[in-house]
Structure 1
Amino acid sequence: MTLSKSSQPDWDPRSSTVLDDQIAAYDDMRRRCPVAHSDYLHWSVFRHADVMQVLEDHGTFSSIVSQHPSVPNGMDPPRHTAYRALIDPYFAPERVQAFEPICRDIALDLIARLPNDGEVEIMDGLARDFALRIQCAFMGWPDTLHEPLRQWTRRNHDATLAGDRSATAAVAREFDGYVRTLLDLRRSAGECAPDDVMSRLLRERIDGRALTDEEIVSIVRNWTVGELGTIAASVGIVAHQLAVCPDLQQRLRADSSLLLPAIDEVLRMHGPLITNRRITTRAVEIGGRRLEAGARISLIWASANRDEAVFGNPDEFRLDRDPSQNLLYGAGIHVCPGAALARLELRVVMEELLARTDRIALVPENRPVRAAYPASGFASLPLRIERGA
């Protein structure tokens, strides 16, 4: 069917029901109205097969969804191909492996600050600080950026949820200013500039020319927004799952080789990233509904990864699932280039958390508070930590 401007929306993504429990709300929409229209998210696609249709058909479903450049997320082939070839080496196996000792030191420092025995709010006590510090360390940014980035992340979240374009633009300009200042510092340092990600981006060439500052800012923004939000959310989601599943805790303490598939499975069940966008280039039918050219689409990852048609009971924790079906890091040409880095970071922090605790549990008298869109996971997560003598 074609939705006219006068038609009633199928749902309200900003209703209290949805924001109070996003995962349950998306499960309901997937079963009841798998391709749904709203004033806020336009067309939302909830089923795994429909999401894959979008991901695999670049000609019909374009990633160029904004008038502002987004490198390479907001590009289609063949332009996307050249930029992706430039970016992928930053996450090459040897670079990811070289980052592990730094990542482990950060995890150890933060975990050492947790109480030996007692209650801790894990989002502020570990998850958000871990995401900030590893991002700054990987990029070669100074520690003085930790607090500004923390505050910027909150303002970005609030502006996105409110749908306030002027606030969103102001937040974007603020972040751009941080990056441009760092670029200017490296230019002025000349040969004395640190050999970090920012300096290497200044040396990159595309189509025989240097990257513009606008392109570098876009690349770095994409990396940073994804890292700060999803890594923090992922740490909280996995820690919560460990707290509610003591048997899983002990199994992973006994066999750390299971951590990577276990983390991927937990994050399939409760996705740390809610949505990405596309726009149609021509009329198309998807999920039994007809979308006209120019229709804006939201891919609801947190629903597609719980689709009963692919995963059976979406809340059943299993380590024997086909990993190729898991859309945690996307799929196709836009699959997350930093997937290996994210997996390393999450493995290391959970490895150290489990190794340095005897028990992680919920606090019955202090319940978790779920995060609201566009965030996922938990806004606050009180946990009880117990350690041996």
Structure 2
Amino acid sequence: MIAEGPGEPSRPREARAMTEQEQQIDWDPRSEEVQRDQIAAYDDMRRGCPVAHSPYGNWSVFRHADVVRILDDPATFSNVVSTHLSVPNGMDPPEHTPFREINDRYFTPAEMAAFEPACREIARDLVTALPRGEVELMADLAADFANHVQCRFMGWPESLREPLREWTLKNQEATLALDRTAMAAVAVEFDGYIREQLEVRRSAGPAAPADTTTRLLAETADGRALTDEEIVSLVRNWTVGELGTIAASVGIIVHYLATNPEVQGLLREDTGRIEAATDEILRMHAPLIANRRRTTAPVTIAGREIPAGERVMVLWASANRDEDVFGDPDEFRLDRDPADNLLYGRGVHVCPGAPLARLELRVLLEELLAGTTDLAPVPGKEPVRAAYPGSGFSWLPLRVV
């Protein structure tokens, strides 16, 4: 769970006349050229066209300063980007406030400390079961870890893990293809899984398990109980972030350690630096490409005039590599100002699950480094990068010793 805010890349445009500037297409984030190396393509756009209009009706913003301006002004750059309910991601204050307060109760330091033993058990078991020799890290570790942790955090039965794994693949395929019919179908499918878990707990009454899902049934906002639709939306946002972004993060981090043995050695010697190192690695290679905002008034960014009601894509994968802030964006450093790193967003919509994400990544890396002696690339086998709007790797062969 990396950044609060929907990440769907496009929408149908309203029937109205387009200005000459709107008709100008600056880039296509789905083009073959961009897909060959998304990070390098964003670097080029940031330097040459820091605000770019795409064929999908979105304005992509690449520079750190411009992204910070957007994040610090939720009144002008709204998170309400869809007609579908999205709790709390797709809300603005004051509506956002009580739902965000509910959300944050589940990610306090005390909650994270209580969940750490379960998270560590999952990580240790998966690392122990990981084959030695050549592995495909995304399937053999990253995706399984995210799936196990989400089910344990929510209190869901083991029987739900396989449906969630299949659902994640269908969701990714539909989003990649921009197939709105399929996207709607997978959303309905997911809602069914969650509603079933809610009904199981209601039927159990006092015998319901004391887990996160049961606790959500007792939550209230503005003096009333949450509706099932609100609970399902909240859980959907948690789950999409967990199953997609955490798996991508694991792949990015482990690939970096495998291809940078000096950093791997540093963290093997000093595990206390793992959290700072994961933040820095994910700054260089973002696990989440972008999130959307909607302009509530005409704005000018980097000389581009953007009308009210337009979709603006906040490009985390570019802003966190801005040379004006970070110098050489590929230089691994642990002495940077954490406030500059937008990995978990910023402002009122800062990532609601950041404490859990940091806990998971730290614990998994601790167990992986403790349970192995070396992580290395497989000679002659290049990883396959994930396609927009995904990030990281879709196939990652590594050698585990």
Counterpart residue type for residue 162 of structure 1? A
TM-superposition CA deviations, 1:49-101 (whole Å, max 9, x none): 11111111111111100001111111111111111111111001111011111
| 1:79 aligned to which of 83, 87, 95 | 95
Q: Deviations over 1:105-163 (max 9, x none)?
A: 111111111223x1111110100000000011001011111111111111111211222
How is 1:262-281 mapped onto 2 (pairs within 5 angstroms)? 262-281=277-296
Q: 1:197 aligns with which of 212, 216, 224?
A: 212
Contact persistence 1:41–1:298 (CA under 8 A): no
Q: Which of 125, 129, 133 is matched with 2:140 structurally?
A: 125
Shift of 1:41: 5.8
- Whether 1:302 and 2:338 are equivalent positions in the alignment is no
Distance in structure 2 (CA, Å) of the matches to 1:226 and 1:3? 36
Once the two structures are TM-superposed, the CA of residue 3 in structure 1 deviates from its matched residue by 5.0
Residue deviations 1:260-280 (CA, integer Å, cap 9, x gap): 100100000000011111101
Q: Secondary structure at the match of 1:13?
A: coil
- Which residue of structure 1 aligns with residue 38 of structure 2? 22
Preserved contact between residue 13 and residue 40 of structure 1 (Cα < 8 Å): no
1:291 counterpart = 2:306: yes
Deviates more, 1:132-141 or 1:142-151: 142-151
Aligned residues of 1:157 and 1:374 also touching (Cα < 8 A): no
Q: Which residue of 2 aligns with 1:114?
A: 130
Q: 2: CA distance between counterparts of 1:272 and 1:3?
A: 34
Deviation at 1:20, TM superposition (A): 2.1
Q: Which amino acid aligns with 1:186?
A: R
Counterpart secondary structure, 1:297: strand
Normalising by structure 2, report the TM-score: 0.94
**Offset from partner CA, 1:162-209 (integer Å, 9 cap, x none):** 222211111111111111111111111111111111111110111111
Once residues 281 and 203 of structure 1 are traced to their aligned partners in structure 2, the CA distance between those partners, rounded to angstroms, is 35
- 2:57 and 2:351 map into 1 onto residues whose CA distance is 22
Superposition map of 1:140-155 within 5 A: 140-155=155-170
Alignment-derived partner of residue 230 in structure 1: 245
Distance (whole Å) between structure 2 residues aligned to residue 312 and residue 41 of structure 1? 32
| Matched AA of 1:67 | T
Post-superposition offset of 1:354? 0.7
Task: Give me the whole-angstrom Cα distance separating, in 2, the residues matched to 1:364 and 1:41.
Answer: 42
- Preserved CA contact (<8 Å) 2:22 2:53: no
Structure 1's 41 and 94: CA in aligned 2 closer, same or farther, altered over 3 A?
A: farther
Cα separation, 2, equivalents of 1:282 and 1:74: 18
Q: Name the aligned partner's letter for residue 92 of structure 2.
A: D
Structure 2: which 5+ residue stretches go unaligned? Answer: 1-17
Give the partner amino acid of 1:56: D
Percent identity among equivalent residues?
Answer: 65
In 2, the alpha carbon distance for the partners of 1:87 and 1:41 equals: 31
Q: Does structure 2 retain, via aligned residues, the 8 Å contact 1:131–1:228?
A: yes
Q: Map 1:69-108 to 2 at 5 A.
A: 69-108=85-124
CA–CA separation in structure 2 for the residues paired with 1:112 and 1:6: 54
Say if 1:6 and 1:46 are closer, same or farther in 2 by CA, change over 3 A. closer
1:176 equivalent among 188, 191, 194: 191
1:7 paired with 2:23, answer yes
Deviates more, 1:5-14 or 1:304-313: 5-14
Work out whether residues 34 and 41 of structure 2, in 8 Å CA contact, stay in contact via their aligned partners in 1: yes
Greater mean deviation of Cα atoms: 62-71 or 152-161: 152-161
2:23 aligns to what SS in structure 1? coil
Q: Does 1:372 align with 2:387?
A: yes
Query: Structure 1: which 4+ aligned runs deviate by more than 4 Å?
Result: none
1:253 is matched with 268
Question: What residue is the counterpart of 1:312 in the other structure?
Answer: 327
Q: SS of 1:321's equivalent? A: coil
Q: Distance in 1 between matches of 2:283 and 2:206?
A: 45
Tell me the matched-pair count.
Answer: 384
